[in-house]
Amino acid sequence: MLLLYSNYFLMRRLSALLFIAAILGSAIVFFSFKKPEAARRYTAPATQINFIEDSWGEALKQAAVQHKYIFVDAYATWCGPCKMLKATTFKNAKAADFFNKNFVNVAIDMEKGQGPELASTWGMQAYPTLIIFDSAGNPVLATVGYIGAGDLIKFGQKALSKKPAAAR
């Protein structure tokens, strides 16, 4: 009787181990297959404005190559309205789509790197300052302070309306 009893528990343990091995094997096989090519190429719509960080020179180069205006977010790390722009307005899907499509976007900390020199050149007096430049680095339009996504899109549209017809 004791022999039957111990064989019973041994068989239960073996079947439990086989069951776990089958589950793990299935999971490995399932997750090892690659996604179809079409699924890998799909990119979701932009969920935020994509900025070049702290590189005015790179923004100028990209704007010249892409024939686009430059949108500058001139900010300071301690600035509350600057943080609100980053947390809300710049993460709005409509604003992101519009600015990523139409501008080379650059965010510059005006208190480090080349920021202080640019702040002096551009006559910065408050943060955030949002400026749109043509591809040669000439200012087109600016605004100071926090603005919502709808107003940011209008701001961008107004700047683009100043673009020469041949360059549109």
Residue-wise pLDDT for 22-70, tens only, equals: 665 565 655 555 544 433 444 455 689 999 999 999 999 999 999 999 9
Query: Tell me: domain 52-167, CATH 3.40.30.10, correct?
Result: yes
Do the beta carbons of residue 90 and residue 156 sit within 8 Å?
Answer: no
Q: Give pLDDT tens digits for 108-148.
A: 999 999 999 999 999 999 999 999 999 999 999 999 999 99
